[in-house]
Amino acid sequence: MRIEQKQNIIYFQPFIKDALPVQPSRQITIGSSRASFRKFMAEAPPRINWVKEKSIASGPDIHFSSPSGELRSAFIESIRQAKTSIECMTFTFSDPELILLLVQKAEEGVKVTVAIDKGHENYLLPYKDKITLVAKDSSQGRLHHKITVIDQETVWIGSANFSPEALLKQSNTMIRLQSKELALALHQEMEALLGTRRRSSEQPRPIEMDGQTVELLLFPRVPFGVQNAPEKALNEAGKKRIIEMIDNAQTSLRFAVCVWTDPDLAQAVIRAKKRGVDVEVLVWKKAESREIVMLFERANIPVIEKPHLTLMHNKWAVIDNEHFLNCSANWSKSWFARNDESAVLLHSLTPEQVQSLNDYWKQLVVG
């Protein structure tokens, strides 16, 4: 792994013989997009200064993006309460007001680090002297996490990029948890992305919190041509765990997945249907998941599409109303080899969580 640091931006890529030097992306200032952002925010508040200080419960809590701003408000409040550190791993970060809040926290002495897919760091470049950027070369696969860890304890993880569209207009789901153990596992993933830590070949161990079990599943990009890579073992174990959960379904399976092209996951769903499990599938556009949709329809599995939505960007499953799987990844072949992805399994769902997920499902299907 070669790591090149210019000022406070880190660009990194695997060693390639005679590789060209990595160049920083063209700087784009936030001011150039501020007029359009103001128009956007006028249509879908709230703004940062409107969020009142409030205490944050321990969780796990499930949050959904919406024009009302519930997810964005809760996320902003977590950032505002940061005292020592903020670590983000994300495909893109383009919300100007959230960026300015990160800068404000950095000026207060909070250590702010953002690992982001290279080519999507432009909105952060004007503040490279305040925060540390880790830009991953997307030609080697996308850094596709959507994770923020605050003060080595508060964790946000799910399907939403940190953009105004993702937090307000698209359909996304994030889980917020309070766990030092989970935060440490994600800090170690950040170190692995930096190349300063070797990955384990085993998935992080399950965590018990508030009467529920939480499993973090990591799916790092598998380096090409490396035999017995721990990344390959992690991907295989994570995929096996998800298929196991589907195979163990007893009564119901409900999926909200933006794009679905992986046949192994689809075959597990078809097996569940054959043994009498009630299955429902929601995708954004059937055309983008055409082969899988055809498989499901031949197996008498109903597939709903919602192409009129700004973007049905969810990637989740509810199993027997007992387990919730929330992912950063589209359910594609790239999930298990090419990209850096993550997922959370939340077990023993509370009645409130089940009701919240059911209400959101109805909103997606009817809306």
Instruction: State residue 73's pLDDT score.
Output: 95
Where among 135, 165, 189 does a domain terminate? 189
Whether 141 and 216 share a structural domain: no
- The string of pLDDT tens digits covering residues 316-349 is 999 999 999 999 999 998 898 889 999 999 999 9
Is a pLDDT exceeding 50 seen at residue 19?
Answer: no
CA distance 152 to 47: 26
Q: For the chain, what percent of residues have pLDDT higher than 90?
A: 74
For residue 30, is pLDDT > 60? Answer: no
Q: What percent of the chain has pLDDT over 70?
A: 83
Could you tell me if 104 and 227 lie in one domain?
A: no
Q: How far apart are CA 114 and CA 110, in angstroms?
A: 13
> Is 164 a member of any domain?
yes
Q: Are residues 150 and 297 in the same domain?
A: no
Which domain CATH number covers 65?
A: 3.30.870.10
* C-alpha atoms less than 13 angstroms from C-alpha of 228 in its C-beta half-sphere: 0
Lowest mean pLDDT, pick from 7-11, 62-66, 89-93:
7-11
Task: Check whether residue 153 and residue 289 sit in a common domain.
Answer: no
Does residue 44 form part of some domain?
Answer: yes
Dihedral sign (CA 112, 117, 118, 121)? negative
Span 171-213, pLDDT tens digits = 999 999 999 999 999 999 999 988 899 999 999 999 999 889 9
Same structural domain, 237 and 106: no
What digits encode the pLDDT tens for the residues 256-298? 999 999 999 999 999 999 999 999 999 999 999 999 999 999 9
Based on the domain organization, do 15 and 132 belong to the same domain? yes
Q: Is the pLDDT of residue 6 over 50?
A: no
Question: Does residue 162 belong to any structural domain of this protein?
Answer: yes
Q: So what's the pLDDT on residue 137?
A: 75
Looking at the predicted structure, is the pLDDT value of residue 12 above 70? no
Same domain? For 30 and 151 the reply is: yes
Model confidence at 29: pLDDT above 90: no
Does any domain span residue 194?
no
Total-model pTM: 0.85
Beta bridge partners of 86: 112, 150
Averaged pLDDT of the chain = 86
Q: Quick: pLDDT tens for 219-229.
A: 999 888 787 89
pLDDT above 60 for 54? no
The token pair that represents 31 in the structure block: 């001011």
Burial of 308 (0-12, 13-18, 19+ CB in 10 A): exposed
Residue 26 has pLDDT above 70, yes or no: no
pLDDT, tens digit (0-9, with 9 covering 90-100), for 218-256: 999 988 878 789 999 999 999 999 999 999 999 999 999
179 lies in the same domain as 295: no
The dihedral of CA 274, 365, 351, 318: what is its sign? positive
- Residue 216's H or E segment, with its range, is strand 212-219
pLDDT digit string, tens, across residues 160-170? 999 999 999 99
**pLDDT classification of 31: cutoffs 50, 70, 90:** very low
* In a domain? residue 195: no
In a domain, 120, yes or no: yes
CB 25 within 8 A of CB 118: yes
The count of domains in the chain is 2
Residues 37 and 159 in one domain: yes
Look at residue 87 and tell me if it is in a domain. Answer: yes
Does residue 328 belong to any structural domain of this protein? Answer: yes
Kindly state whether residues 207 and 147 are assigned to the same domain. Answer: no
The confidence score (pLDDT) of residue 155 equals: 98
At 333 the pLDDT is: 80
Q: What angle do CA 69, 331, 167 make, to 5 degrees?
A: 10
Q: Assess contact for 125 and 28: CB atoms under 8 A.
A: yes
As a whole number, mean pLDDT of residues 25-36 equals: 42
**pLDDT surpassing 90 at residue 37:** no
Better pLDDT: 65 or 6? 65
Q: Which residues contact 336 (CB under 8 A, 6 or more apart)?
A: 219, 235, 236, 238, 239, 262
Cis amide leading into 46 (omega within 30)? yes
Mean pLDDT of 74-93: 97
Boundary-marking domain end, from 157, 189, 221: 189
In 98-151, DSSP assigns E strands to 111-117, 132-136, 146-150
Q: Show the domain range for 349.
A: 201-366
pLDDT higher than 80, residue 74:
yes
Whether 235 and 347 share a structural domain: yes
Where is the domain boundary, 155, 189, 223? 189
Residue 36 has pLDDT above 90, yes or no: no
Q: Is there a single domain that holds both residue 36 and residue 178?
A: yes
